[in-house]
Amino acid sequence: MWKNLYDSLLQILAGPWAKYLSENGAQGRLVRDTFFNSIYPYSGLILIGITLVATLLFYFYFNNRFGKYYKVRTWFLWMLFSSLIIGICTFILSKSLLSSFMCPTNLLIIWQSLINLFYGLILFFILSLVFQAVSIIIRKLFHIDLSSMGSRTPF
């Protein structure tokens, strides 16, 4: 699953693996295998974990405690902040996993981090829609207010 999600975009942005393998030989194959077996799965876990925690924090902690987080601007900044953390964590993880290779890997690592940052933005938006819909449904069906945001949230 992760291979398909990340690999197609990485090859579009950083170039096809065939070109990389022809330029770097055996080291290139090891780098590709590291991406397929380690970096892609860990990037997916980072993406899901951080986005889920950030969305839950935004909707069920900060909005219940402080009234100033009801604005679209704050939602957008929180989404950017969580995606930036995803990109940085992906970069650090990829750099540590590929530090032993002699062939150039920085371009691949940077693109992988940016791809994960982009996916973080999309997933945060989708989870925001889901959490808001669930909150509204529960409030209407059971008269339980999971979030003090009500209809004042951006989504």
Kindly report which listed range (11-20, 30-39, 70-79, 138-147) carries the lowest average pLDDT score: 138-147
The pLDDT tens digits for 88-101 are: 999 999 999 998 88
109/101: higher pLDDT: 109
Please check whether residue 48 is in contact with residue 55, taking contact to mean a CB–CB distance below 8 angstroms.
Answer: no
Three-state DSSP state, 144: coil
Kindly report which listed range (41-50, 70-79, 91-100, 140-149) carries the lowest average pLDDT score: 140-149
The pLDDT tens digits for 42-53 are: 999 999 999 999
Question: Does the pLDDT value for residue 1 go beyond 60?
Answer: yes
Contacts of residue 15, Cβ cutoff 8 Å, sequence gap at least 6 = none
Percent above pLDDT 90 for the chain: 45
Prediction pTM value: 0.85
What pLDDT is attached to residue 135? 73
Please check whether residue 119 is in contact with residue 47, taking contact to mean a CB–CB distance below 8 angstroms.
Answer: yes
What pLDDT is attached to residue 66? 60
Rounded Cα–Cα distance for residues 89 and 39 (Å): 11
Rounded Cα–Cα distance for residues 112 and 3 (Å): 12
